[in-house]
């Protein structure tokens, strides 16, 4: 099954982000927008994980959660990968605090000990709001940079758990379910 480790946002913050992103959705861009209940911040995409490899994943998550206390994450700034003029992903960013970076690094190193490849790209924490459709056409995103610059939102929430998520790909997009949630119990 396709698994990843994520931080799920509280319902209140997901709703605030969704309201702020309404300006983007109203532009009728060639984008498949994520459902508000699916907003999450991915820490590590694992891909297809067979049952015997799931136990080490959960063990690493338990160890990291026991060493990490709850901490604040601030969501701020809309953008796109790879560029705002030719996006594949439209997102809202998260401030890469030392706590968030350490959590990501601890997961990467812990899973590397069990044969999972470490991510070598720079960590750009974000919540995906939508994915551009392949046939958007030239100029489909003209002016998007002005729109995102005009959206002012700062949403802060407390991270209290790590979630092991399952991803199912459907014709209408990915669907996510929490397979296991592990509370952060380490010192603050």
**53-63: pLDDT as tens digits:** 999 999 999 99
Domain assignments of the chain as residue spans, ordered by start: 2-183
Give the pLDDT of residue 13. Answer: 94
Residue 137's pLDDT band (cuts 50, 70, 90) = low
Report the alpha-carbon distance of residue 47 to residue 82 in Å, rounded. 21
**40, 59, 114, 124: which is the annotated catalytic residue?**
40
The answer to whether 126 is a known catalytic residue is yes
Nearest to 45 by CA among 157, 128, 102: 128
**59, 76, 114, 126: which is the annotated catalytic residue?**
126
The answer to whether 59 is a known catalytic residue is no
Please measure the distance between the N-terminal and C-terminal CA atoms of the chain and give it in whole angstroms: 34
pLDDT in tens, 169-184: 887 778 899 999 999 9
pLDDT in tens, 18-31: 999 998 999 888 99
- CATH code matching the domain that covers 2-183, chosen among 3.90.1140.10, 3.30.465.10, 3.30.365.10, 3.30.2130.10: 3.90.1140.10
Q: What is the pTM of this model?
A: 0.93
């Amino acid at each position: 099954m396709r698994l990843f480790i994520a931080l799920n946002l509280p319902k209140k913050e997901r709703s605030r982000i969704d309201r702020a992103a309404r300006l983007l959705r109203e532009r009728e861009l060639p984008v498949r927008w994520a459902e508000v209940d699916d907003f999450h911040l991915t820490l590590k995409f694992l891909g297809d994980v067979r049952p015997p490899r799931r136990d080490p994943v959960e063990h690493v998550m338990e160890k990291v959660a026991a060493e990490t206390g709850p901490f604040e994450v601030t969501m701020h700034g809309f953008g796109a990968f790879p560029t705002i003029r030719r996006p594949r992903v439209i997102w809202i960013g998260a401030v890469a605090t030392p706590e968030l970076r350490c959590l990501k690094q601890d997961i990467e190193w812990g899973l590397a000990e069990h044969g999972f490849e470490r991510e070598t790209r720079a960590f750009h924490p974000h919540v995906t709001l939508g994915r551009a459709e392949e046939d958007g056409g030239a100029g489909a995103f003209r002016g998007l940079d002005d729109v995102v610059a005009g959206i002012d939102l700062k949403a802060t929430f407390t991270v209290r758990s790590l979630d092991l998520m399952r991803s199912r790909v459907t014709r209408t997009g990915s669907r996510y379910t929490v397979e296991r949630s592990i509370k952060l119990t380490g010192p603050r």
